[in-house]
Copies of this chain bind each other. A is one copy, B any other.
Amino acid sequence: MSLPFASKLRSRCETSHSVVCVGLDPDPARIPKALTEKSSIEDAIREFCCQIIEATAEKVVAFKLNLAFFEAIGRNGWSVVEDVLKQIPRDVITIADAKRGDIGNSARFYAKALLEDLSFDAVTISPYMGSDSVLPFLQHPEKAAFILARTSNPGGDDFQLLQTKGIPLYQRIAIASLDWDAASRGTVGLVAGASDLHSLAELRHICPETPFLIPGTGAQGASAEDVMRVAGSGPVLINSSRKIIFASSGKDFAEAAASATDVMRSEVAYR
């Protein structure tokens, strides 16, 4: 019998003493030459991800696979995803960063592909199409869907901050997520970027117990410590992609990723 998602998350944070999520965004242009010189780009991406996983798995709560980079591999992209997932120890959370969002029947097939067939623990989804595009991702008690609320990219301000009857759109999505979560018993998370601490604090106020997947610390936004201060009263997964996986472009990329993970873990220790 699988643990409910919230229990698995808590358990993994305790085992790893970590809230660090490593984002696997294998941009072919940044894969170390040591790997791309001797094999196809597909093999190089697979090898790169597997070495990063081996070097960092014990230090992280989760790995997040950005499916854009795997789709761009072409017809074998899906099997690279499968191979990479096999390298991740079972108690580490796996997140498909897919940002899917489609009507009911299509959403069910995306959920099947990502949560059942590939057995990801969680998926990121877009809320624009509303409840019937979200609910099919919430049918598995041991899985979760992280719904985009406040994103850390510059364009995130375009619509998410629009006032809707007195509160910004991203807060409306958080409020809706509470209803969806109540109906699905704890399978909802939110994506809440570190670029806007005020929004992050508001979201934690609205959703005190919801797991937050938080990208954008460091270069793009607030420090990891500030993020923990504002959102750490509830469950968090603090994502870092490029800062960890591309910490070195040399042969020592995996060791460098491990060191960068250690630094981040010490900044945002799980308490």
Residues on A close to B: CB < 8 A? 25, 27, 66, 68-69, 71-72, 74-79, 82, 97, 99-107, 109-110, 112-114, 117, 126-134, 148, 151-160, 162-165, 169, 172-173, 176
* Chain B residues with CB below 8 A from A27, complex form: 105, 109
Q: Cα distance A25–B155 when bound, in Å?
A: 31
- A173 to B169, alpha carbons, bound, how many Å? 13
Compute how far the CA of A158 lies from the CA of B127 in the bound complex, rounded to whole angstroms: 9
Distance (whole angstroms) from the CB of A239 to the closest CB of chain B: 12
Closest to A26 in B: B109
Given A78-B78, A102-B99, answer yes or no on A68-B113 (Cβ-Cβ < 8 Å): yes
Query: In the bound complex, what is the Cα–Cα distance between A68 and B97 (angstroms)?
Result: 15
- On whether A160 and B78 interact (CB within 8 A), knowing A25-B106, A117-B72, the answer reads no
Checking B77, B100, B126, B153 against A78 with a beta-carbon cut-off of 8 angstroms, the contacting residue is B77
Complex CA–CA separation, A228 to B187 (angstroms): 42
A151 touches B126 (CB 8 A): no
Residues of B within 8 A of A134 (CB): 155
Q: Is the CB of B113 within 8 A of A130?
A: no
How many of these chains are in the complex?
A: 2
Is there contact, CB below 8 Å, between B162 and A148? no
Q: Shortest CB–CB separation between residue A70 and chain B, in angstroms?
A: 9
How far apart sit A104 and B104, CA to CA, in the bound complex (Å)? 27
Given contacts A79-B75, A128-B127, contact A69 B153 (CB under 8 A): no
Give the CA-CA distance A257 to B103 in the complex, in Å: 23
CA of A79 to CA of B66, assembled, Å: 20
Find chain B residues with CB under 8 A from A105 CB. 25, 27
Q: Could you tell me if A130 and B154 are in contact, using CB atoms closer than 8 angstroms?
A: yes
Given contacts A72-B110, A99-B126, A132-B153, 4 further A-B contacts (CB under 8 A): A72-B117, A126-B128, A129-B148, A159-B169
CB-based nearest B residue for A78: B75
**Contact at A130–B101, with CB atoms within 8 Å?**
no
Judging by beta carbons under 8 Å apart, are A172 and B155 in contact? no
Residues of B within 8 A of A160 (CB): 128, 130
What are 29 residue pairs bridging A and B, where the CB atoms are less than 8 Å apart in the complex?
A25-B105, A68-B102, A68-B107, A71-B110, A71-B114, A74-B78, A74-B113, A75-B76, A75-B78, A75-B82, A77-B113, A97-B106, A99-B102, A99-B129, A126-B128, A128-B148, A129-B151, A129-B156, A130-B157, A130-B158, A131-B155, A131-B158, A133-B153, A133-B155, A159-B169, A159-B173, A163-B165, A164-B164, A164-B169
Q: Are A110 and B68 in contact (CB under 8 A)?
A: yes
